[in-house]
Chains A and B, each alone.
Chain A
Amino acid sequence: MSGAAALESDTRRAAAPPLTQRLVGALWRALPVIVVCIAWQIAPTVGVINPDALPPLSAVVTAWWDLLMDGSLVSNGLTSLWEAVAGLGLSIIIGVGSGVLMAWYAPVEAIVSPLMKSLYPMPKSALIPVMILWFGLGPSSKIASIFAGCLLPVVLSSYNGARGVDQTLIWSALGLGASRRRVLWEVVIPAALPEIMAGIRNALAISFILMVAAEFLVGQHGIGYLISFLGDGGVYDAMFAGVLTVSAFGFFADRVYLLFMNRMLRWRE
């Protein structure tokens, strides 16, 4: 019994390199980031760079902690999160649905797809002013901007994914007696999933851009507003803290989504 356990732990140890070695490897990989952080701390304190232009890292971390404690980071962050989730969520629901249906029903495709393709390269930020005209200065105009900007990438990737499904798969399923509805749900959508999910990843990046840009421009809520408010007030260490927070959020959102995507698509070879 104990022999078997020992054997098991032995094989496990043999499979993975020892912990210290892995730690050193990780540290070696992260070293450039650490070097940049140290340079960021030292350059303004020594006076190589004006500390007003680049507050030392320690001051930024302190400012971040203060923002966190006085609640402004949390409340503005939650507003931004809500805008991004609502806008992106709507665009996924409507975009995936209409993209797949476009590929499924030929007449819809003939009318909508050329229009989609010509509107696709439109710079998404141009939509923000119209959404402000339509929905005012509050969160709804940001949700609408994010939705409008994310919609086309999601629609187009779902459409391309669903249209690229191997016809023999569809014919086989139909030949085995599946209804068209079941073919859509159990063949077309799973087969299109890799491309749909790649499109959503694109949209995730766009949603952050539009969220921050729209909050910079108008309104009095959200992390983008917080950053530009602090910047206008000359509280630069806190402004840097805000910028770092958004950047970290964008980075981790992408990483988490990537993990989720790989998990969802594990069935592929």
Chain B
Amino acid sequence: MAGVSEPGRREAYLTALRVGSGVAFFAAWQLTAMSHVFSDFLLPSVPVVFERLWHDLISGDLLYGILLTLIRTFIGFVLAAVGGVILGVSIARIPVVRWFFDPLVSVGLPMPKIAFLPIFMLWFGVFDTSKVLMVAFSSIFPVIVEAWAGTQNIDKYMTWSAMSLGVNRHRFLWEIALPAALPQVFTGLQVALPIALIVDIVCEMQMGGEGMGGSIMTDMRFADSPGVFAYIIAIAIVGMILVKAMEIIRRRLLVWHQETQTA
């Protein structure tokens, strides 16, 4: 009986800690703001920022910005996910592809892709196309690397069993290789999604075109500091939800995998 309630109590304790630390954070912010060590411009008080957040939420501006940012991020991310998995699996399984892409990927992975932003602006303009492609270009590398490693390191007994049971190449790919690589592919996707969001926000800051990055930059240019802080909170919440959502999807998708069953 005690064994059943133990995890529940631990969960409740952790939730309390999380809420507590959040409250402590905002309380510290508010106390600093009220002490007037910094001007209202540098550090607006918590109620002012939340009032602004509420105002933008009611007027629909906030949701519109979030939606625009999310759509761009997702399209870029999906491009990176599909392209990265195809490329990663091909690199692992086709020697010519590996020969060609191995040096390019190892040069591209640690490179600061954001530096290519002006080139994308030159090639694709300042609208959605260049933002989406920039997001895809920046977030594809971790997906490639993880899909490659995941397909390369499939348990050889599994491969041999499938082969001796007479599985053809096509079925091997879809029923053995991809499912076996899925946990690692998902790790790559979990790295790629925050990158996609960061890069999309930078693109919006640089090229305009609204979205959360565009709005926060506009507020900054108008020296509207409550607006800047309100958008930071909104961006942080969106980032948090995306990361959490990926964790939940991972657990759903990998129900059959040991990592989910032991956890």
Binding site for B on A (CB under 8 A): 29-33, 35-36, 53, 110-115, 118-119, 121-130, 132-134, 205, 208-209, 212-213, 216-217, 224, 227-228, 231, 236, 239-240, 242-243, 246-247, 250-251, 253-255
Q: How far is the CB of A107 from chain B (nearest CB, A)?
A: 12
CA A208 to CA B115, docked complex, whole Å: 9
CB-CB nearest 9 A-B residue pairs: A254-B110, A121-B243, A208-B112, A231-B118, A250-B112, A129-B220, A115-B21, A246-B115, A122-B236
Q: Is B25's beta carbon under 8 Å from chain A?
A: yes
A115–B24 touching, CB < 8 Å: yes
Please name all residues of chain A whose beta carbon is closer than 8 Å to the beta carbon of B37 when the two chains form the complex. Answer: none
Q: How far is the CA of A239 from the CA of B122 in the complex (A)?
A: 10
18 A–B contact pairs at CB < 8 A? A29-B103, A33-B103, A33-B104, A111-B21, A121-B239, A125-B199, A126-B231, A126-B232, A129-B231, A130-B228, A130-B229, A133-B41, A133-B42, A213-B202, A224-B115, A242-B115, A243-B118, A254-B110
- Could you give, for residues 201-230 of chain B, a 1 whenever the CB lies within 8 Å of some chain A CB and a 0 otherwise? 110011000001100110110010100110
B114 at the interface (CB under 8 A from A): yes
A125-B201 in contact given A112-B21, A255-B110 (Cβ < 8 Å): yes
- Max chain A C-beta neighbours (<10 A), residue from B205, B219, B229: B205
B115: min CB distance to chain A, Å? 4
Whether B197 and A123, one on each chain, are in contact in the complex, defined by CB atoms closer than 8 angstroms, is yes
Task: Evaluate whether A212 and B114 lie within 8 angstroms (CB atoms) in the complex, with A110-B17, A114-B21, A231-B121 already known.
Answer: yes
Interface string of B1-45 (1 = CB under 8 A from A): 000000000000010011011101100000000000000011000
Q: A115-B21, A243-B115 are in contact. Are A125 and B198 (CB under 8 A)?
A: yes
Judge whether A128 and B20 touch: CB under 8 Å: no
B114 near A213 with CB under 8 A, answer yes
Q: Which residues of B contact A231 (CB under 8 A)?
A: 118, 121-122
- When distances are taken between beta carbons in the complex, the residues of chain B under 8 Å from A228 are 118, 206
Contact of B107 among A31, A33, A217, A239 (CB under 8 A): A33
Q: How many residues of B contact A (CB 8 A)?
A: 57
Q: How close is B51's CB to chain A, nearest CB, in angstroms?
A: 18
Complex CA gap A76/B114 in Å reads 17
B157 at the interface (CB under 8 A from A): no
**Closest B residue, CB atoms, query A115:** B21
Interface secondary structure of B, over-half rule: helix
Q: Is the CB of A217 within 8 A of B118?
A: no
Binding site for A on B (CB under 8 A): 14, 17-18, 20-22, 24-25, 41-42, 99-104, 107, 110-112, 114-119, 121-123, 194, 197-199, 201-202, 205-206, 212-213, 216-217, 219-220, 223, 225, 228-229, 231-232, 235-236, 238-240, 242-244
Cα separation A165 to B81 with both chains bound (whole Å): 35
- B103, A30: Cβ atoms under 8 Å? yes
